[in-house]
A and B are shown apart, each in its own frame.
Chain A
Protein backbone atom coordinates (compact mmCIF):
# COMPACT_ATOMS: atom_id res chain seq x y z
CA UNK A 1 0.00 0.00 0.00
CA UNK A 2 1.08 3.55 -0.65
CA UNK A 3 1.12 6.43 1.79
CA UNK A 4 1.83 10.13 1.44
CA UNK A 5 3.12 12.52 4.07
CA UNK A 6 2.97 16.27 3.71
CA UNK A 7 5.27 17.52 6.40
CA UNK A 8 3.80 20.99 6.81
CA UNK A 9 0.13 21.51 7.51
CA UNK A 10 0.40 25.28 7.11
CA UNK A 11 2.92 27.52 5.38
CA UNK A 12 2.67 31.28 5.75
CA UNK A 13 4.70 33.18 3.17
CA UNK A 14 5.06 36.78 2.07
CA UNK A 15 4.10 37.87 -1.42
CA UNK A 16 6.94 37.55 -3.95
CA UNK A 17 8.89 35.22 -1.64
CA UNK A 18 9.70 31.63 -2.66
CA UNK A 19 7.79 28.70 -1.24
CA UNK A 20 8.51 24.98 -0.97
CA UNK A 21 5.92 22.40 0.03
CA UNK A 22 7.30 19.06 1.09
CA UNK A 23 5.89 15.69 0.13
CA UNK A 24 7.26 12.25 0.93
CA UNK A 25 5.72 8.98 -0.10
CA UNK A 26 6.16 5.30 0.56
CA UNK A 27 5.42 2.56 -1.91
CA UNK A 28 6.74 -0.88 -2.74
CA UNK A 29 6.26 -0.25 -6.45
CA UNK A 30 6.91 2.58 -8.87
CA UNK A 31 4.34 5.32 -8.64
CA UNK A 32 2.94 8.26 -10.48
CA UNK A 33 3.08 11.52 -8.49
CA UNK A 34 0.73 14.48 -8.55
CA UNK A 35 0.18 17.87 -6.98
CA UNK A 36 -3.35 19.24 -6.83
CA UNK A 37 -4.48 22.68 -5.64
CA UNK A 38 -7.77 23.54 -4.01
CA UNK A 39 -8.75 27.20 -4.08
CA UNK A 40 -11.40 28.35 -1.60
CA UNK A 41 -14.84 26.96 -2.47
CA UNK A 42 -13.55 25.21 -5.57
CA UNK A 43 -12.71 21.67 -6.63
CA UNK A 44 -9.28 20.09 -6.90
CA UNK A 45 -7.22 21.27 -9.87
CA UNK A 46 -4.18 19.47 -11.21
CA UNK A 47 -0.98 21.53 -10.90
CA UNK A 48 1.50 19.03 -12.29
CA UNK A 49 2.34 15.35 -12.50
CA UNK A 50 5.35 13.06 -12.75
CA UNK A 51 5.00 9.87 -14.73
CA UNK A 52 8.54 9.14 -15.92
CA UNK A 53 11.54 10.79 -17.54
CA UNK A 54 12.95 14.11 -16.38
CA UNK A 55 12.77 14.42 -12.62
CA UNK A 56 12.01 18.15 -12.79
CA UNK A 57 8.40 18.74 -13.72
CA UNK A 58 6.91 22.11 -14.58
CA UNK A 59 3.25 22.83 -14.03
CA UNK A 60 0.74 25.61 -14.28
CA UNK A 61 0.98 29.00 -12.56
CA UNK A 62 4.78 28.89 -12.30
CA UNK A 63 4.96 25.83 -10.04
CA UNK A 64 7.51 23.07 -10.43
CA UNK A 65 8.32 19.88 -8.55
CA UNK A 66 11.28 17.56 -8.40
CA UNK A 67 11.04 13.80 -8.08
CA UNK A 68 13.77 12.28 -5.94
CA UNK A 69 13.59 8.51 -5.99
CA UNK A 70 16.28 7.89 -3.40
CA UNK A 71 14.57 10.18 -0.91
CA UNK A 72 11.06 9.20 -2.04
CA UNK A 73 10.15 12.85 -2.24
CA UNK A 74 8.24 15.10 -4.62
CA UNK A 75 8.58 18.63 -3.27
CA UNK A 76 6.67 21.50 -4.87
CA UNK A 77 8.28 24.92 -5.37
CA UNK A 78 7.48 28.34 -6.68
CA UNK A 79 10.16 31.05 -6.84
CA UNK A 80 7.81 33.98 -6.25
CA UNK A 81 4.27 33.61 -4.90
CA UNK A 82 1.26 35.82 -5.44
CA UNK A 83 -1.69 36.54 -3.21
CA UNK A 84 -3.74 34.38 -5.57
CA UNK A 85 -1.63 31.33 -4.64
CA UNK A 86 -3.39 31.23 -1.27
CA UNK A 87 -4.94 27.76 -1.31
CA UNK A 88 -4.59 24.23 -0.04
CA UNK A 89 -2.16 21.97 -1.85
CA UNK A 90 -2.35 18.19 -1.96
CA UNK A 91 0.31 15.69 -2.96
CA UNK A 92 -0.96 12.35 -4.29
CA UNK A 93 0.36 9.08 -5.69
CA UNK A 94 -1.04 6.24 -7.73
CA UNK A 95 0.62 2.98 -8.61
CA UNK A 96 -0.59 2.89 -12.20
CA UNK A 97 -2.71 4.66 -14.73
CA UNK A 98 -6.37 4.18 -13.99
CA UNK A 99 -5.70 3.52 -10.34
CA UNK A 100 -6.95 5.25 -7.23
CA UNK A 101 -5.09 8.24 -5.85
CA UNK A 102 -3.69 8.24 -2.33
CA UNK A 103 -3.50 11.77 -0.96
CA UNK A 104 -1.49 13.47 1.72
CA UNK A 105 -3.16 15.54 4.39
CA UNK A 106 -2.68 18.81 2.55
CA UNK A 107 -0.68 22.00 3.13
CA UNK A 108 -2.43 25.32 3.53
CA UNK A 109 -0.50 28.18 1.98
CA UNK A 110 -1.34 31.66 3.15
CA UNK A 111 0.30 34.40 1.13
CA UNK A 112 0.60 37.66 3.03
CA UNK A 113 1.04 41.06 1.41
Chain B
Protein backbone atom coordinates (compact mmCIF):
# COMPACT_ATOMS: atom_id res chain seq x y z
CA UNK B 1 0.00 0.00 0.00
CA UNK B 2 0.90 3.68 -0.07
CA UNK B 3 3.48 4.91 2.39
CA UNK B 4 3.62 8.09 4.41
CA UNK B 5 3.37 11.14 2.19
CA UNK B 6 4.41 14.69 2.95
CA UNK B 7 3.81 17.94 1.15
CA UNK B 8 5.29 20.09 -0.04
CA UNK B 9 8.58 18.31 -0.61
CA UNK B 10 10.43 21.61 -0.74
CA UNK B 11 9.43 24.95 0.68
CA UNK B 12 11.30 28.22 0.37
CA UNK B 13 9.92 31.10 2.37
CA UNK B 14 10.97 34.49 3.61
CA UNK B 15 11.70 35.21 7.22
CA UNK B 16 8.56 36.22 9.07
CA UNK B 17 6.15 34.22 6.93
CA UNK B 18 4.03 31.36 8.25
CA UNK B 19 4.36 27.88 6.76
CA UNK B 20 2.19 24.77 7.00
CA UNK B 21 3.66 21.33 6.42
CA UNK B 22 1.37 18.41 5.76
CA UNK B 23 1.67 14.72 6.60
CA UNK B 24 -0.60 11.96 5.36
CA UNK B 25 0.12 8.75 7.33
CA UNK B 26 -0.27 5.17 6.21
CA UNK B 27 -3.94 4.23 6.22
CA UNK B 28 -4.98 2.76 9.55
CA UNK B 29 -1.96 4.02 11.43
CA UNK B 30 -2.98 5.41 14.78
CA UNK B 31 0.19 7.17 15.87
CA UNK B 32 1.82 10.03 14.00
CA UNK B 33 5.14 11.65 14.81
CA UNK B 34 6.96 14.80 13.70
CA UNK B 35 10.74 15.13 13.71
CA UNK B 36 13.16 17.84 12.59
CA UNK B 37 16.55 17.07 11.09
CA UNK B 38 19.21 19.72 10.76
CA UNK B 39 21.93 19.27 8.17
CA UNK B 40 24.50 16.71 9.30
CA UNK B 41 22.51 15.61 12.33
CA UNK B 42 20.04 12.93 13.25
CA UNK B 43 16.30 13.60 13.45
CA UNK B 44 15.00 15.19 16.65
CA UNK B 45 11.55 14.57 18.05
CA UNK B 46 9.02 17.40 17.93
CA UNK B 47 5.60 16.00 18.81
CA UNK B 48 3.29 13.01 18.39
CA UNK B 49 -0.38 12.08 18.22
CA UNK B 50 -2.45 9.05 19.00
CA UNK B 51 -5.56 9.44 16.86
CA UNK B 52 -6.39 13.14 17.16
CA UNK B 53 -4.92 13.60 20.63
CA UNK B 54 -1.54 15.26 20.92
CA UNK B 55 0.25 13.04 23.43
CA UNK B 56 3.61 14.75 23.71
CA UNK B 57 4.73 18.12 22.45
CA UNK B 58 7.84 18.40 24.55
CA UNK B 59 10.08 18.64 21.50
CA UNK B 60 8.47 21.72 19.98
CA UNK B 61 11.19 24.37 20.30
CA UNK B 62 8.96 27.36 21.08
CA UNK B 63 5.41 28.62 20.77
CA UNK B 64 5.84 29.49 17.08
CA UNK B 65 5.55 25.77 16.39
CA UNK B 66 2.22 23.98 16.60
CA UNK B 67 0.69 20.80 15.21
CA UNK B 68 -2.76 19.38 14.81
CA UNK B 69 -4.45 16.23 13.64
CA UNK B 70 -8.14 17.10 13.87
CA UNK B 71 -9.64 13.94 12.40
CA UNK B 72 -6.99 11.49 13.49
CA UNK B 73 -5.50 11.11 10.03
CA UNK B 74 -3.74 13.97 8.21
CA UNK B 75 -1.57 16.21 10.36
CA UNK B 76 -0.31 19.74 9.84
CA UNK B 77 2.79 21.21 11.42
CA UNK B 78 2.63 25.01 11.41
CA UNK B 79 5.53 27.36 11.97
CA UNK B 80 4.58 30.98 12.52
CA UNK B 81 6.87 33.94 11.87
CA UNK B 82 9.59 31.72 10.45
CA UNK B 83 13.23 32.41 11.25
CA UNK B 84 16.36 31.33 9.41
CA UNK B 85 17.17 28.84 12.20
CA UNK B 86 13.95 26.98 11.32
CA UNK B 87 15.57 25.79 8.07
CA UNK B 88 15.76 22.00 8.22
CA UNK B 89 14.22 18.77 6.94
CA UNK B 90 10.90 18.08 8.65
CA UNK B 91 10.05 14.40 8.81
CA UNK B 92 6.78 12.69 9.59
CA UNK B 93 6.35 9.07 10.65
CA UNK B 94 3.42 6.85 11.51
CA UNK B 95 2.96 3.55 13.28
CA UNK B 96 0.18 1.00 13.44
CA UNK B 97 -1.62 -0.34 16.47
CA UNK B 98 -0.16 -3.40 18.15
CA UNK B 99 1.61 -5.69 17.50
CA UNK B 100 4.03 -3.47 15.53
CA UNK B 101 3.39 -0.24 17.35
CA UNK B 102 7.11 0.23 17.98
CA UNK B 103 8.00 0.50 14.29
CA UNK B 104 7.77 3.97 12.79
CA UNK B 105 7.51 4.39 9.02
CA UNK B 106 8.87 7.63 7.67
CA UNK B 107 7.79 9.85 4.83
CA UNK B 108 10.17 11.53 2.37
CA UNK B 109 10.33 14.75 4.39
CA UNK B 110 9.78 18.42 3.65
CA UNK B 111 12.90 20.50 3.20
CA UNK B 112 12.26 24.00 4.51
CA UNK B 113 14.53 26.90 3.64
CA UNK B 114 13.92 30.24 5.31
CA UNK B 115 15.63 33.15 3.59
Residues of chain B within 8 A of A99, CB atoms compared? 102
Q: Is B82's beta carbon under 8 Å from chain A?
A: no
Contact B102 A106 (CB under 8 A): no
The complex places the Cα of A42 from the Cα of B56 at a distance, in Å, of 27
CB-based A-B contact count at 8 angstroms: 60
Write out, one digit per residue, whether chain A residues 84-106 have a CB within 8 A of any chain B CB (1) or not (0): 00000010101011111111111
Interface size on A, residues (CB 8 A): 25
Q: How far is the CA of A99 from the CA of B56 in the complex (A)?
A: 9
Q: How far is the CB of B63 from chain A (nearest CB, A)?
A: 20
By beta carbon, the residue of chain A nearest B3 is: A43
The reply to whether B45 and A43 contact each other, CB–CB distance below 8 Å, is no
Chain A positions near chain B (C-beta within 8 angstroms): 4, 6, 32, 36, 42-46, 49, 51, 90, 92, 94, 96-106
Q: Sorted from nearest, which 7 A-B pairs have the closest CB atoms?
A: A103-B42, A97-B102, A44-B106, A97-B101, A100-B45, A43-B108, A43-B106
